Structure 1
């Protein structure tokens, strides 16, 4: 395990037990972001860095009982919290690194990532790994229930020019990684970047 992975795991292990109670009003934002993927019944979708699985119910509703919902996270304590919340009934939970997914090429129709990009140790290669497992034309939703400025204010820091989530940084990063940025929204009420898997 790299130092970056160890840091991420330690950060989220310390917060896993009360993660959901700290953000009790986010469910509608997760549902709207999941809807943006335009999933169809029977589709296969991955929640990359699923944490406590807050997106899994919305993803399951979108793909129906015959669809496939996977939740992958690096932190065992977050997955344990997802199980305690009963979200393992909505999809299969896997302890894995999004940089090395245990999936074949083009196995998925879409990937959902809440708060994901700021925790990727190698954003370009990691986004390319997500592209590897998605069919051409499939979609990626990078989401956060708060926009960049609101999130920075919550943590008492300014928005910086090198923020990977800024459109001018994200668009070329995605393009180099097998994605085309389709729509981009960054408002106080939420952040959503939708990308399409290029052929």
Structure 2
């Protein structure tokens, strides 16, 4: 686990400074994914693996001034980039491992995770921890602003059957972790899996 954390931190630390400039057109896709959660004014939402905080303004707009928005990320450099971008004004930022969150059980209405699932190793404990901090009936959005095939092509790879985000793989993984997948979209312009907290 420590080696996995070090790898993730090294990967994102090296990319934090120019992360937002590498993907300048993603804002509308993030906003649309946030809308899919159906957040209401006053809700509490966690941005798990928030990175530079690109989803935080849309999350804040969705829950309004009376709601709660918390961004959590493992990598200090990504959180520092979020601060430089002015996104800490949307809510507090917490450096934490999403598999071990220092948060009360059932304290959130929803979790938003952009590009998160690919960096969870192993993913099960982290998804179970996200379920722990969400109330029963609360929602999880696993999002990426590009679909699986387009992302693989960008990196010169092909999709394989063992791809974690393939519906036959992610559905039982979520079910074992306290979630019920109810919506799945994998298109060129987005990946979005929506799940409800069971129990």
Per the normalisation by structure 2, the TM-score is 0.99
SS in 1 for 2:111: strand
Provide the secondary structure at the position in 1 that maps to 2:15: coil
- 2:116 is aligned to 116
2:87 aligns with 87
CA positional deviation for 1:169: 0.1
**Mapping 1:2-151, distance limit 5 Å:** 2-151=2-151
Aligned partner of 2:191 in structure 1 is 191
Which residue in the other structure is 1:173 paired with?
A: 173
Shift of residue 133 of structure 1? Answer: 0.3
Give the CA deviation at 1:80: 0.3
The separation in 1 between residues aligned to 2:5 and 2:153, in whole angstroms, is 26
Q: Secondary structure in 2 aligned to 1:94?
A: strand
* Counterparts of 1:58 and 1:81, CA distance in 2: 17
Aligned to 1:14, the other structure's residue is in SS state helix
Q: Secondary structure at the match of 2:146?
A: coil
Q: For 1:59 and 1:163, locate their aligned partners in 2 and report how far apart those are by CA, in whole Å.
A: 28
Query: How far apart are residue 20 of structure 1 and its match?
Result: 0.2
Alpha-carbon distance in 2 for matches of 1:40, 1:148: 30
Q: What SS does structure 2 have at the residue aligned with 1:99?
A: coil
Paired positions, count: 199
Moved over 6 A (4+): none
Query: 2 CA distance for matches of 1:45 and 1:136?
Result: 14
Give me the whole-angstrom Cα distance separating, in 2, the residues matched to 1:94 and 1:18: 21
Listed as ranges, the gaps of 5+ residues in structure 1 are none
Q: CA deviation at 1:125?
A: 1.1
Q: Quick one: distance in 1 between partners of 2:24 and 2:185?
A: 23
Over the residues paired in the alignment, what is the CA RMSD in angstroms? Answer: 0.6
Q: Which residue in the other structure is 2:157 paired with?
A: 157
- Post-superposition shift, 1:122? 1.7
Deviation at 1:160, TM superposition (A): 1.0
Give unmatched runs, 5+ long, in structure 2: none
